[in-house]
Structure formats: structure tokens, C-alpha cells
């Protein structure tokens, strides 16, 4: 079998790192010389800088975005006996974080045009045990802060943001991480602001939440060998913090580059709307930071999502699916009692969505190449449909 040459990778981190390689190496060398590998100076420097950039008062670095959710909920006194509303259409870490905190997850459906949580559906799920809602700022777009705040005020709930994909995203005059009592971020390498390994952070405006989080991440210790809570070991490595601190000043430009790329995708893909290729809707204007650029391959398209992905792969264009199985249908969580059909929009989206290449440095010609390949695949499928082979219309493929 011939090896396929990758013409347009899904993500290319080298383009981001090469121009600042010396800075990154010097930052790492500085940590090596100081030897403060655990909760060193770079951690506190980055916590302060990222919180300030995001409009939050406090930042607490942890080992991963999942820990930021699980420990963050505990720091907000959310746990056993509490219900937490979250969307079925999210990465599994959101659900796992709620379960690890000891709370009961209550899943709800999403909006098919944006893939964000549907607050009308969330309102139907509220019970006397509901304590919080987790809006997932998916793909780089925030759930509307004004609608969230009205929702939380109406039902007397805490807002705990999952902002793992929304570094410096904005909407309604708010930054991601500044809307609720707290917010969880991930610094997984492919994120808009990524480390050289795993990492996460909780942002909060509440000093008590911040102090409890500081204890929880470090064995529940308020001082060395004095443990006031049953915490764990989840600390952002000093080496990772040093890398992130150097990258942070470039994040606004990288986000701007992503927006420019997304706008080109929108323009180039517009003629394919009548063929069922529909980009996810941007309701945030320039506040969308496009961690991912996602299209829907809907029922009117002559080619199915899997076939389209295979055709793109065959010509060296990498794509992804975020996410192919909604949380409620994951085998590990059948104990939650959900069934197929419970969240039709999330289930429909999981069969339609396709993430296209998106990263700072993706060229205009590469965007054109991706769209041309999609257009060719759609056109070829239309021809096959007329001939009676390989199309949805004829029940083949």
C-alpha cells in the first residue's frame, strides 16, 4: 500500500514554535538552573499573567484540564448530593470531572447550529438538587454570557465554565473564564495555548475558591505536612509553566490568525452550502478563537461524512471528528441511565461534524486546497448519484 503524503496536516505546532524557539529554550534552561521543578517561580508568574489576560482575579495551575474541572468543582463546594447540568455534546473530560467531584451529572442537548449547550433544554432539567451548570465553550466559541447569567440568576445556580478550548475567547463583553464563579482551562499541546505536555488551570474571582484549590492540588495541605482536606497531587509543572508564560504574549496574534483562516474557510465554503456543507455558526463575531473549524455534512449532501473524510485523507488532507460519540452513549457511562434518542441534536451532530485543518500558519493556498478537495468529493458524488452508485439517494455506501 502506498504511503499517503500529508499535504495539509490537521495541526502543525512547528510553525508556532520555530520563531520563538530560542525564548522557549532559555525559559526551560532557566528552570533547570534554578531547580524549582515543583511549584516554582514560573508557575506563579504564569498563574498571575493568564488570570489577568482572561479577566479573572486568581489562577491556580494544575496537572490537566480534567483536574481543573474535578478539583475546581470541589473548590466551589460542589459534590455529593448536588446535580450539575452539562451538555451531552462535549469531550468526555467534562463528564468525568463532574463524576470525580462526587456530583451527579445531568446531561442536556445542544444547539445544532453552534453545537453549544441549549439553555432551553437545560431549564427543563433543573430539580431542587441542581447546584451548577457547566457551559462548555466549544470549538473556541463561548456560550452567551448574558444568557448564562440570566439563566443562573433565574434558577439560582453557579456557573462553572469549561473553557478548555476557549483561551482568550470573548462574547458579550466577557472573556472566557470571567463569567462564572470559576472556569477550567486545558493546556494540552494542541490547544490555542498549549504546553509541551499536559497542564491545566482554574480561574476564579473568589479568593476562598482559589485558596481551597491551592490546597486540593497539593495533597490538601494548608502548610507543609498539615492537611486540612483530602486533596491530591495535581500541580502544573514549573517547566510547563515556563513554556506557557513565554507563549502567552503571542496568543492574541495566534487567535487572530485563526479567525482570519476561519473567515477564509467561510467564504470559500459558502458555495457548497446548497450541497449540504454547513460550517458551524459563529455567533461571537471576532470573539471566536477557533480552536477548531467544524463543518456539518448534513442530510442534503450527496456524500456521507465518513466518505468525505476518507476522500480527503486519500489526497493528504487530515481531518478530525469532535466528537463521534456523545457522552450519554459512551459504554463507560451506561450506568447514568441514558438511552439512544435522549439527545437527538447531539446524536445528529455526532454523525455530521467534521473538523478541518486549523492552526496559526495554515496558508491561504492550503485553505483553498482543502475546500477544493471537498468540492471535488461532493461533485464526484453527485455524478455517481446520477449513475446510481455510491450515494445516499440510492442507499449505497
pLDDT tens track for 298-317: 999 999 999 999 999 999 99
C-alpha triplet 359, 174, 252: angle, nearest 5°: 30
Sign for the CA dihedral angle at 179, 181, 187, 188 comes to: negative
Residues 64 and 180 both lie in one domain: yes
Residue 8 lies in a domain: no
Catalytic residue among 104, 191, 247, 311: 191
The pLDDT, as a whole number, for residue 383 is 65
Instruction: Tell me how far apart the alpha carbons of residues 236 and 42 are, in angstroms, rounded to a whole number.
Output: 10
β-strand partners of 293: 356
Cell numbers for 271, please give them: 458555495
The pLDDT, as a whole number, for residue 394 is 32
The pLDDT, as a whole number, for residue 72 is 98
Residue 156 among the catalytic residues: no
The pLDDT, as a whole number, for residue 397 is 29
The pLDDT, as a whole number, for residue 381 is 79
Residue 289 lies in a domain: yes
Residues 118 and 218 both lie in one domain: yes
Closest alpha carbon to 216 in 76, 348, 46, 331: 76
Instruction: Tell me how far apart the alpha carbons of residues 292 and 383 are, in angstroms, rounded to a whole number.
Output: 31
Residue 267 lies in a domain: yes
Residues 130 and 245 both lie in one domain: yes
Give the CATH number of the domain where residue 24 resides: 3.40.640.10
Question: Which residue range(s) make up the domain with 108?
Answer: 14-249
Give the CATH number of the domain where residue 280 resides: 3.90.1150.10
Q: Contact at 8 Å (CB) between 85 and 108? A: yes
Residues 204 and 311 both lie in one domain: no
Instruction: Tell me how far apart the alpha carbons of residues 213 and 274 are, in angstroms, rounded to a whole number.
Output: 50
Instruction: Tell me how far apart the alpha carbons of residues 321 and 127 are, in angstroms, rounded to a whole number.
Output: 33
**DSSP strands (E only) in the chain:** 58-62, 83-87, 104-108, 130-133, 158-162, 170-171, 174-175, 182-186, 200-204, 221-223, 226-227, 277-279, 293-297, 353-356
Terminal-residue alpha carbon distance, the chain: 22
Residue 159 lies in a domain: yes
Residue 2 lies in a domain: no
Residues 349 and 210 both lie in one domain: no
Residues 120 and 179 both lie in one domain: yes
Q: Contact at 8 Å (CB) between 240 and 107? A: no
The pLDDT, as a whole number, for residue 207 is 98
Residues 116 and 207 both lie in one domain: yes
pLDDT tens track for 214-268: 999 999 999 999 999 999 999 999 999 999 999 999 999 999 999 999 999 999 9
Specify the DSSP class assigned to residue 83. Answer: E
Residue 329 lies in a domain: yes
* Residue after which a domain boundary falls, among 206, 228, 249: 249
Residue 396 lies in a domain: no
* Residue after which a domain boundary falls, among 225, 249, 273: 249
Tally of structural domains, the chain? 2
Residues 134 and 174 both lie in one domain: yes
Residue 345 lies in a domain: yes
CA distances from 392 to 320, 321, 354 (A): 22, 20, 18
Residues 255 and 382 both lie in one domain: yes
Residues 34 and 150 both lie in one domain: yes
What are the φ/ψ torsions at residue 180 (nearest 5 degrees)?
-100, -170
Residues 354 and 229 both lie in one domain: no
* Residue after which a domain boundary falls, among 249, 265, 290: 249
List the chain pLDDT tens, one digit each, 397 residues: 578 899 999 999 999 999 999 999 999 999 999 999 999 999 999 999 999 999 999 999 999 999 999 999 999 999 999 999 999 999 999 999 999 999 999 999 999 999 999 999 999 999 999 999 999 999 999 999 999 999 999 999 999 999 999 999 999 999 999 999 999 999 999 999 999 999 999 999 999 999 999 999 999 999 999 999 999 999 999 999 999 999 999 999 999 999 999 999 999 999 999 999 999 999 999 999 999 999 999 999 999 999 999 999 999 999 999 999 999 999 999 999 999 999 999 999 999 999 999 999 999 999 999 999 999 999 997 666 556 544 444 332 2
The pLDDT, as a whole number, for residue 345 is 98
Residues 223 and 265 both lie in one domain: no
Amino acid at each position: 500500500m502506498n504511503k499517503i503524503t500529508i499535504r495539509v496536516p490537521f495541526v502543525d505546532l512547528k510553525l508556532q514554535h520555530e520563531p520563538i524557539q530560542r525564548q522557549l529554550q532559555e525559559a526551560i534552561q532557566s528552570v533547570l538552573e534554578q531547580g524549582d521543578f515543583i511549584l516554582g517561580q514560573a508557575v506563579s508568574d504564569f498563574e498571575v499573567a493568564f488570570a489577568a489576560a482572561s479577566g479573572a482575579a486568581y489562577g491556580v495551575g494544575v496537572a490537566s484540564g480534567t483536574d481543573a474541572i474535578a478539583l475546581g468543582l470541589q473548590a466551589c463546594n460542589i459534590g455529593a448530593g448536588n446535580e450539575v447540568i452539562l451538555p451531552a455534546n462535549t469531550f468526555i473530560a467534562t463528564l468525568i470531572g463532574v463524576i470525580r467531584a462526587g456530583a451527579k451529572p445531568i446531561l442536556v442537548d445542544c444547539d445544532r447550529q453552534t453545537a453549544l449547550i441549549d439553555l432551553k433544554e437545560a431549564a427543563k432539567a433543573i430539580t431542587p438538587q441542581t447546584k451548577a451548570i457547566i457551559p462548555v465553550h466549544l470549538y473556541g466559541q463561548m456560550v452567551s454570557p448574558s444568557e448564562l447569567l440570566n439563566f443562573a440568576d433565574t434558577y439560582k445556580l453557579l456557573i462553572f465554565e469549561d473553557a478548555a478550548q476557549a483561551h482568550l475567547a470573548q462574547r458579550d463583553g466577557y472573556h472566557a473564564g470571567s463569567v462564572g464563579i470559576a472556569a477550567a482551562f486545558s493546556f494540552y499541546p494542541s490547544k490555542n495555548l498549549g504546553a509541551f505536555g499536559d497542564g491545566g488551570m482554574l480561574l476564579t474571582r473568589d479568593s476562598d475558591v482559589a485558596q481551597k484549590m491551592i490546597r486540593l492540588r497539593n495533597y490538601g495541605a494548608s502548610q507543609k505536612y498539615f492537611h486540612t482536606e483530602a486533596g491530591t497531587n495535581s500541580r502544573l509543572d514549573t517547566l510547563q509553566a515556563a513554556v506557557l508564560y513565554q507563549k502567552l504574549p503571542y496568543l492574541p496574534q495566534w487567535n487572530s490568525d485563526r479567525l482570519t483562516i476561519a473567515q477564509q474557510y467561510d467564504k470559500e465554503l459558502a458555495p457548497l452550502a446548497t450541497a449540504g456543507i454547513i460550517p458551524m455558526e459563529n455567533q461571537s463575531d471576532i470573539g471566536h478563537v477557533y480552536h477548531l473549524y467544524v463543518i456539518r455534512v448534513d442530510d442534503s449532501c450527496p456524500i456521507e461524512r465518513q466518505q468525505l473524510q476518507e476522500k480527503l485523507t486519500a489526497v493528504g488532507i487530515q481531518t478530525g471528528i469532535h466528537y463521534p460519540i456523545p457522552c450519554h452513549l459512551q459504554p463507560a457511562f451506561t450506568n447514568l441511565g441514558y438511552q439512544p434518542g435522549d439527545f437527538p441534536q447531539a446524536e445528529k451532530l455526532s454523525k455530521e461534524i467534521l473538523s478541518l485543518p486549523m492552526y496559526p500558519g495554515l496558508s491561504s493556498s492550503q485553505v483553498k486546497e482543502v475546500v477544493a478537495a471537498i468540492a471535488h468529493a461532493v461533485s464526484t458524488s453527485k455524478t455517481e448519484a446520477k449513475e446510481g452508485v455510491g450515494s445516499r439517494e440510492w442507499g449505497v455506501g
